[in-house]
Structure 1
Amino acid sequence: MFERLFPSRVPEPKPLPQPNAQLALGALLVRVAFADSNYRATEIGQIDRILSRTFNIGPIEAAKLRATAEALQRDAPETPEFARILREEVDYAHRLALGEAMWSVALADGHRHEKEEIQLLAIETALGLTDQDIEDLREKATRAR
């Protein structure tokens, strides 16, 4: 009887949107934060601030964008695909700024984690940043800490 009233259908998941520059950046920021297997509130807050500031959106829109990016990074393309989108749509100077923003997420919890640094290096390389710029970003981020 209850089965007729409440059929046990699992709702179909909503399809994920095609990645664009906003979602690609969000997914990479989330990927950095997840790299050490700890996704902390400080990292989430930092991601939301970066998305809000970068795309000139309010905090609620930034949180929605981050939530979509979380699902996308979990179920969608690998890092090189997200980086390709950003390389095609964002000039070098702004990609460099994105690298700096990613370091701020990695260090938001107050600790350096080898897995996050490995993930960052992969992302920075995929973004097409030079070795010297990558080293400068690391030095600047760790010095500011």
Structure 2
Amino acid sequence: MISALKQFLADLRGDAEPEPISEDRCRLAAAALLFHVIAIDGEVSEAEKAKLRSVLKERFELDDADVDELVVDAEKADKEAVDLYGFTSIVKSQFDEADRERIVEMMWQLAFADGKVHEFEDNLLWRVAELLGVSSQARIRLKHAVRGDAGA
């Protein structure tokens, strides 16, 4: 996983020749997008961190140690990134439409994790969905489905 993070950060800086995109780098890109959701409002709650771990563990079928490592790497990648394109370009190129919609759904789950959707989270979801090629209709449908599940 460390080599995936190093390569991902090198790609963001434009260092070196790009290597083929590994499964670890795909996971890291998705996890960094997910981490960005919980951090964008300036406050990362324990409920949001727990939900992040939960969705990553379920989606990528990881054990606790791997989830913890992925969250640390995702936070670092998010802090080093200057924009979302480095993450979204990997996800868009490597995930099919259903998987990209699943990422947006996971982002909504995180946005609702603390009981409220901040305007920054809502705007982020709109931008990421656009960059991932997820339609507005699908983004709104997923929001309503998650909001219904969250009891909000």
Unaligned runs of at least 5 residues, structure 1: 1-15
The answer to which structure has the higher helix fraction is: 2
Aligned-residue identity in percent: 28
Which is further off, 66-75 or 40-49? Answer: 40-49
Deviations 1:44-87 (CA, angstroms, capped at 9, x unpaired)? 11111111112211012101101011000000252122011001
Matches of 2:47 and 2:138, distance apart in 1: 26
From 55, 75, 91, the equivalent of 1:86 is: 91
Give 1:18 shift.
Answer: 2.3
User: What's 2:119 paired with?
Assistant: 114
User: What's 1:64 paired with?
Assistant: 69
The one-letter amino acid of 1:74's match is K
User: What's 1:17 paired with?
Assistant: 6
Give 1:109 shift.
Answer: 0.7
Alignment of 1:24-39 (within 5 A): 24-39=29-44
Q: Which has the larger radius of gyration?
A: 1
TM-score where L is the length of structure 2:
0.80
The one-letter amino acid of 1:90's match is F
The one-letter amino acid of 1:51's match is L
Q: Any idea what SS the aligned residue of 1:18 has?
A: helix
C-alpha spacing 1:77/1:55, structure 2 compared with 1 (3 Å): farther
User: What's 1:134 paired with?
Assistant: 139
The one-letter amino acid of 1:18's match is Q
Unaligned runs of at least 5 residues, structure 2: 9-24
TM-score where L is the length of structure 1:
0.84
Deviations 1:76-134 (CA, angstroms, capped at 9, x unpaired)? 25212201100111100011111111111111111121111111111111111011111
Which is further off, 74-83 or 107-116? Answer: 74-83
From 104, 111, 116, the equivalent of 1:99 is: 104
From 50, 53, 58, the equivalent of 1:53 is: 58
